[in-house]
Amino acid sequence: MASLEDIGVAAAINILSACAFFLAFSILRIQPINDRVYFPKWYLRGLRSSLLGAGAFANKFVNVDFRSYIKFLNWMPAALEMPEPELIHHAGLDSAVYLRIYLLGIKIFVPIAFLAFAVVMPVNWTSGCLQGSKLTYSNIDKLSISNVPLKSDRFWTHLVMAYAFTFWTCYILKREYHIVASMRVHFVASEYRHPDQFTVLVRNVPPDPDEPISELVEHFFLVNHPDHYLTHQVVYNANKLSSLVSQKKSKQNLLDYHNLKYSRNQTKRPSKKTGFVGLWGSKVDAIDFYTSEVARLSEEIALEKDKITKDSNYIMPAAFVSFRTRWGAAVCAQTQQCRNPSIWLTEWAPEPRDVYWDNMAVPYVSLSIRRLIIAVAFFFLTFFFMIPIAFVQSLANIEGIEKAVPFLEPIIEVKVIKSLIQGFLPGIALKIFLIFLPSILMLMSKFEGFISLSTLERRSATRYYIFQFINVFLGSIITGTAFQQLDEFTHQSANDIPKIIGVSIPMKATFFITYIMVDGWAGCAAEILRLKPLIFYHLKNFFLVKTKRDRIEAMDPGTFGFNSGEPQIQLYFLLGLVYAVGTPILLPFIVVFFGLAYVVYRHQIINVYNQEYESAAAFWPDVHGRIVVALVVSQLLLMGLLSTKEAAHLTPFLIALPVLTIWFHRYCKARHEPAFKKYPLQEAMMKDTLEKARESNLNLKEFLQSAYIHPFFKGCDDSDDDEMMEEWVQEPVVVQTKRQSRRNTPLASKQSCSLSSSGD
């Protein structure tokens, strides 16, 4: 059982690690050679120039101004100086609201920690129940509810605190939901004109043997939205083209590398082997090989482009449809378009940066099957992962290790090694097991067919949260309890086992404290150090960079990673709420994490991260909902714990808590969630009216026409690029149709043609 001394060793190790990371960051960030690694956002905005261009040779690489080393911690106050409105303008609403999650943790847990330490902790400490029991315990467990004897009147204190913590948490959640909803409404209202404000995505367009998809879409919307339809862009299956362009980019990088290598030493031309990853095969000239590969891929790209534009099989039954007004787009996106609810499905189009183009080629009819497959796969992934979790938890129990491998007992009992095993290794081992999980879950979400990056990240975050709840939280408690109290289980009757579990749950706080220090404290410090991007930037800068564009690509600023970061934060909310009443000693570690993470990620968002998209904080309902789930879980676990302590007479008073919490969630959902799901017609009309008054001569069609073109048709570097773009964005030509069916439009296509000519 981990003791206060073991926790102290873990705290010392993690504090020293964090301090070392912060010190290394503070020194590395002020070196001119690393400026693009630690301030890439300003370079991408064109607001910062390179520090390597002037001065003595040494000054270009090493900062010789010793005064800057004295102020090496000035990045902390600097990260807090930028006011929130300026931060929104600088980084976007998504980034600003993401930071508010950390602030939310501080607002909730600082008062709870003070109250718990003032009231709950003395009640637990002075009870003295564990001293006369046969259970394995440590000094830290004396601070938990496990130390309170059965049927004690002291449990009324925990009941009152549960109500106090619940009401305070709900108050802060409601207040924050209102603030974020207001921020979103204001952001959308004040936001400059964007293509997604005028565009909807229509999917599952029914096939027609007499009309191509493009004409079918135009006829449908000219008939059903005659006063507001403006233009459309059909969706093409360009996945093969995307793959070819990526291959060409990879080969071009290798060609640049070998050209640069040869330019530095022209006595010998570089060579490579043509076999698997260059390990075997015939040896050839590397420059000639990659030159021919780039030329071959360029030809294939040109052929693929030509196929896409001429072959109707590449056109998917979907299109981005743009309207003359925001009001018209809002009406279309939020209403049913056809009496058959399974066709002509409309939704708001993601902003162009947010579109995940690979999934635009996924047939809509296959989405349900794909999601069923992933649901089954996720189920097995989640529950089979309990095996390594159980192994990790065995590391937290010295007694279990000594029983399994008794010959290691002399080594394990060495004071330093014992403290290291119990206070540090379990947390770091679990962290290592979870490294690849976010990538796996993101691949699952992509397979499901979601068409926006923001939706992919929110979906992955939901699964990651479920995984953490089952494996990290419940798995750690259950497997830890089983290892820890195995002897008690085998010698007690079945009726006594729930009591043992109820007493043992608070004792796992020691493991979670070490996990918070490893994942939270040291993890934040490692995040700001950016060791991996630092190494990769200098490798790319030395071997691949030839142009300014190459150097920009080498910076790799990254994003705050909602799909992995937010579920980790939610785990801390869950731990804090669950252990606030039972084992308050965990709360200071959580408060330190939220405070440290807020400063670190604010610095990163200001100086480093370059967010790929802007969803106007569409993720907040998920954040709010998961905290409510954590609150309900904490209440249910407290009910179970008190029942094992033979305090069943308190259960009726506790039943009201989850009922009130669920009612509170439904109220917040009804009151604030519509601001995140729908766009009010009143707001749309106001913006349209103001824009018409200010810019009466705006050519909206020209603004929207190329907004939703596949990026590989916008950014390819082939010589025929301009010609290709002209062909791609030209207005669809409406021809006389032979279609007989009127299943999809109430008027004939001839009428649609006349509307088309008069509607420009």
pLDDT of residue 283: 84
Query: CA 102 → CA 40, 302, 597, distances in Å?
Result: 24, 49, 7
Beta-carbon contacts of 480 under 8 Å, excluding residues fewer than 6 positions away, are 393, 396, 397, 504, 508, 511
With CA atoms as reference, report the closest residue to 325 among 193, 201, 452. Answer: 193
Query: CA 705 → CA 564, 694, 732, distances in Å?
Result: 35, 22, 11
pLDDT of residue 482: 44
pLDDT of residue 15: 82
pLDDT of residue 525: 87
- CA–CA distance, 512 with 195 (Å, rounded to integer): 46
Query: CA 1 → CA 255, 418, 499, 500, 641, distances in Å?
Result: 58, 10, 19, 15, 20
Q: What is the SS3 string spanning 732-753? A: CCCCCCCCCCCCCCCCCHHHHH
- CA–CA distance, 708 with 321 (Å, rounded to integer): 10
**Angle between the N-to-C axes of helices 681-694 and 155-190, in degrees from 0 to 180, rounded to the nearest 10:** 30
DSSP track, 676-719: HH---HHHHHHHHHHHHHH-TT--HHHHHTTTTS-HHHHS--ST
The beta-strand segments (E) located in 90-212 are 199-203
Residue 11: other Cβ atoms inside 10 A: 17
User: CB-based burial of residue 589 (10 Å sphere; 0-12 exposed, 13-18 middle, 19+ buried)?
Assistant: buried
pLDDT of residue 503: 54
User: Rounded to the nearest 10 degrees, how much is the dihedral formed by the CA atoms of 469, 473, 475, 479?
Assistant: -170
- For the chain of 760 residues, list the mean pLDDT of each consecutive stretch of 10: 60 81 88 88 81 55 72 83 91 92 95 92 74 62 73 82 94 95 87 87 89 90 92 89 87 83 81 73 84 91 86 87 93 92 91 90 88 93 76 59 67 68 64 81 92 93 92 72 48 52 65 82 86 87 74 82 90 93 90 94 92 89 95 88 76 88 94 90 90 85 86 57 41 41 38 35
pLDDT of residue 757: 35
Q: What is the DSSP code (8-state) at residue 350?
A: P
- CA–CA distance, 355 with 2 (Å, rounded to integer): 49
3-class state of residue 558 by DSSP: coil
pLDDT of residue 73: 77
pLDDT of residue 143: 76
In degrees rounded to 5, what are phi and psi of residue 272? -150, 160
CA 476 to chain centre: 24
- Kindly report the pTM of this predicted structure: 0.84
pLDDT of residue 60: 62
- CA–CA distance, 58 with 491 (Å, rounded to integer): 72
